[in-house]
């Protein structure tokens, strides 16, 4: 049966079949070609979208904006705290208003229930630009980058190192399970993904011939990995006072060259960004002053190495988000 995602929201990858995810990846490749050859593709001219952000963003916001413009659409950006939503107006009422004005809504915020409610009430597709639980548009870019480097996906080994129960780690486990990638969550016992999500992913992985492994040993986690992925140790929305504990728990999981060297031949480094790999940020400087460390989740050596594909990955956010909007709005 041909794939048809018209009118569908993009809230989490558990809602999508393997075939649908692969279709979005194929579409992303087409859009990348069009962009790189500067071929106009204003396929959604006349439509309008709104980007609703309750947390800050560089990549996700700019990807939606540029992708929207490239597709010929009008784009409204509502920055954190700048709309009535959450203060004077409920999510349900906001959804019903925005759904009358716009053809699609991007939402970045806190609980997954909120983005679900927005989608239930808006009557137009809603795209999840990150919640505390999932970051599905990021996954398409990550998988696209992995495929660009290895020419395949099935049977590869992907290791997430660090806070293995955050939105990015959860989403990587889901997408790996759906695409037959062997996924390892490597982190301390207290920062492992929830048991029910692991169970769901193990069942999916079995169907697709891959495995889900949890390990607390960074060397075991890195061994034979085709891609080693990490993310910041404290996510948006978490209180600043967790830094001390997180640093203590996660220092052994910093992605160093020594860990990268344990990976499979051609092992690549991935990170959704932003990253604390040096002290060229305000947070980086504060952490150095307070805790005496200059690098956090990844060493600067690895971040700047040839194995690091983080900027290709960031670019792919735009192509993949374009594919999601096109598939759901066309
Ligand atoms: N990776 C990612 O979502 O980046 P932003 O927070 O800059 O959107
Ligand atoms: N886990 C991070 C991802 C940022 C793109 C956060 O939620 O802050």
Percent of the chain having pLDDT more than 70?
100
Distance in Å, CA 273 to ligand 1 centroid: 6
Confidence band of 221 (pLDDT split at 50, 70, 90): very high
**What digits encode the pLDDT tens for the residues 87-119?**
899 989 999 999 999 999 999 999 999 999 999
Instruction: Report the alpha-carbon distance of residue 206 to residue 308 in Å, rounded.
Output: 30
Residue 85: per-residue pLDDT: 83
| Domain 13-134+316-329 and domain 138-314 have a common topology | yes
Match 């509502």 to its residue by tokens: 78
Q: Cβ-count burial of 50 within 10 angstroms (0-12 exposed, 13-18 middle, 19+ buried)?
A: buried
pLDDT-derived band at 81, boundaries 50, 70, 90 = confident
The mean pLDDT of the chain is 97
Position 174 pLDDT exceeds 80: yes
Domain boundaries, the chain: 13-134+316-329, 138-314
pLDDT at 275 over 90: yes
Residue 19, token pair as written in the block? 């075939």
Give the number of the atom of ligand 1 that is nearest the alpha carbon of residue 62: 8
pLDDT tens-digit series, residues 8-31: 999 999 999 999 999 999 999 999
Residue 298 has pLDDT above 80, yes or no: yes
**pLDDT in the model for residue 17:** 98
Which atom number of ligand 2 is nearest to the Cα of residue 163?
A: 1
Ligand closest to the CA atom of residue 311: 1
DSSP at 297: S
| Spacing, Cα 232 to ligand 2 middle (Å) | 7
Q: Is 128 in the pocket of ligand 1 (CB under 6 A)?
A: no
> By C-alpha distance, which of 209, 249, 228, 250 is closest to 310?
228
Can you tell me which atom of ligand 2 is nearest the CA of 273? 5
- Of the ligands numbered here, which is closest to the C-alpha atom of 110? 2
Q: What is the mean pLDDT of residues 157-169?
A: 98
Averaged over 197-225, what is the pLDDT? 98
- Confidence band (pLDDT; 50, 70, 90) for 82? confident
Which residues, in sequence order, are bridge partners of residue 76? 50
Name, in order, each residue with C-beta under 8 angstroms of 120's C-beta and a sequence gap of 6 or more.
95
The answer, yes or no, to whether residue 241 has pLDDT greater than 80, is yes
Q: Is the pTM of this model over 0.85?
A: yes
Indicate if the pLDDT at residue 230 is higher than 90: yes
The pLDDT-based confidence of 51 (bands split at 50, 70, 90) is: very high
Instruction: Label the pairing between strands 182-186 and 157-161.
Output: parallel
| Ligand 1 pocket residue status of 138, Cβ below 6 Å | yes
70 is catalytic: no
- If pLDDT is split at 50, 70 and 90, which confidence band does 272 have? very high
Catalytic residue, candidates 135, 254, 277, 319: 135
Say if CB 185 and CB 197 are below 8 A apart.
Answer: no
Task: Go through 115-150 and write b for each residue having 16 or more CB atoms within 10 A of its CB, e for each that does not.
Answer: bbbbbebbebbbbbbbbbbbbbbbbbbbbbbbbebe
> 138-314 adopts what CATH topology?
Rossmann fold (3.40.50)
The residues facing 127 across adjacent strands are 10, 106
Q: What backbone phi and psi angles, to 5 degrees, belong to 185?
A: -95, 115
In the predicted structure, residue 1 carries a pLDDT above the cut 80: no
> Quick one: which atom of ligand 1 is closest to the CA of 137?
3
CATH topology of domain 13-134+316-329: Rossmann fold (3.40.50)
* Cα–Cα distance, 101 to 135 (Å, whole number): 25
| Sequential DSSP letters for 34-68 | HHHTT----TTTT-EEEEEESS--SHHHHHHHHHH
Q: Cα(206) to centroid of ligand 1, in Å?
A: 31
Mutate-to-test residue for ligand 2 from 61, 235, 310, highest number of ligand atoms within 8 A of CB: 235
DSSP state of 241: G
Over 90: is that where the pLDDT of 83 sits?
A: no
272 is catalytic: yes
| Active-site residue, from 108, 254, 277, 319 | 108
């Amino acid at each position: 049966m041909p794939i048809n995602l018209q009118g569908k929201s993009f809230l989490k990858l558990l809602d999508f079949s393997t075939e649908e995810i692969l279709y979005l990846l194929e579409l992303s490749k087409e859009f990348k070609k069009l962009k790189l050859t500067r071929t106009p593709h204003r396929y959604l001219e006349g439509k309008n979208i709104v980007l609703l952000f309750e947390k800050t963003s560089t990549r996700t916001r700019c990807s939606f904006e540029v992708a929207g413009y490239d597709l010929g659409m009008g784009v409204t950006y509502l920055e954190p705290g700048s709309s009535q939503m959450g203060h004077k107006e409920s999510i349900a009422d906001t959804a019903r208003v925005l759904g009358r004005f716009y053809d699609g809504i991007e939402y970045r915020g806190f609980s997954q229930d909120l983005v679900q409610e927005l989608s239930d009430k808006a009557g137009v597709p809603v795209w999840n630009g990150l919640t505390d639980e999932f970051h599905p548009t990021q996954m398409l870019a990550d998988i696209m980058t992995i495929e660009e480097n290895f020419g395949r996906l099935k049977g590869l080994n992907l290791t997430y190192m660090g806070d293995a129960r955050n939105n990015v780690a959860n989403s990587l486990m889901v997408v790996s399970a759906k695409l037959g990638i062997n996924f390892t969550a490597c982190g301390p016992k207290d920062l492992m993904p929830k048991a029910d999500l692991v169970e769901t992913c193990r069942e999916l992985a079995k169907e697709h011939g891959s495995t889900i492994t949890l390990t607390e040993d960074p060397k075991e986690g890195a061994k034979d990995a085709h891609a080693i992925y990490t993310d910041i140790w404290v996510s948006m929305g978490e209180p600043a006072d967790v830094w001390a504990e997180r640093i203590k728990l996660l220092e052994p999981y910093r992605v160093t060259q020594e860990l990268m060297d344990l990976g499979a031949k051609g092992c690549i480094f991935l990170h959704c960004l932003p990253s604390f790999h040096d002290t060229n940020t305000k947070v980086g400087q504060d952490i150095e002053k307070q805790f005496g460390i200059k690098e956090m989740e990844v060493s600067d050596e690895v971040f700047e190495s040839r194995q690091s594909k983080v900027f290709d990955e960031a670019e792919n956010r735009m192509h993949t988000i374009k594919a999601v909007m096109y598939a759901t709005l066309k």
